[in-house]
Amino acid sequence: MSIDLVFSRPQTTLAVTRGAARLMIDLGYAPLLEVCLPNGRRADVMAIGRRGDIVICEVKSGVEDYRVDRKWGEYAPFCDAFFFAVAPEFPQEVLSEAPGLIVADGFGGAVVREAPVTPLAPARRKALTLAFARLGALRTLRDQPAG
């Protein structure tokens, strides 16, 4: 007997986001979730590496989410490497082959296709790194108990 589990889009999004973030940690990156970029877009997962390289993962919860959201090209100016992150059951053949590809669930993930690397300009890297550090520090402080 086969049992197919069907998750709602929010559950799928949460699981893929969690798995992509865990994969980033496993790969030596420090991730933050839902990071607003200077162009007004919001990166689902943005991570910074030990050498200052910046990766963005755009989570796609389903085919409809991918087809209606064509803004993913607007993330490239704010990272060295860009990935789609999808659930294992996502039909990968519908995705553009330009970005990297991560398959993830709530426990972790795997890089299925490496992302092309396009190094950021030094001034932009510095601005993004400072903004990333400030956001991380402010979130940490916000999450601390009062007292």
Average pLDDT of the segment spanning 103-107 = 96
pLDDT at residue number 75: 95
Number of H helices, E strands in the chain: 3, 6
Q: Strands across the sheet with 30-36, in order?
A: 30-36, 42-48, 54-60, 81-86, 100-105, 108-113
Please indicate, yes or no, whether the overall pTM of this predicted structure exceeds 0.85. Answer: yes
Residue 48 CA to residue 103 CA, distance in Å, equals: 20
Query: pLDDT-based confidence at 8, cuts 50/70/90?
Result: low
pLDDT higher than threshold 60 for residue 83: yes
Average pLDDT of the segment spanning 103-113 = 97
Query: pLDDT-based confidence at 5, cuts 50/70/90?
Result: very low
Residue 136 CA to residue 33 CA, distance in Å, equals: 10
Q: Is the dihedral of CA 93, 94, 98, 102 positive or negative?
A: negative
CB-based contacts of 58, cutoff 8 Å, min separation 6: 43, 44, 72, 75, 82, 83, 84, 85, 99
Residue 87 φ/ψ, nearest 5 degrees = -75, 160
Average pLDDT of the segment spanning 142-146 = 76
pLDDT at residue number 147: 62
Structure tokens at 16: 């893929």
In this structure, the number of other CB atoms found within 10 A of the CB of residue 54 comes to: 22
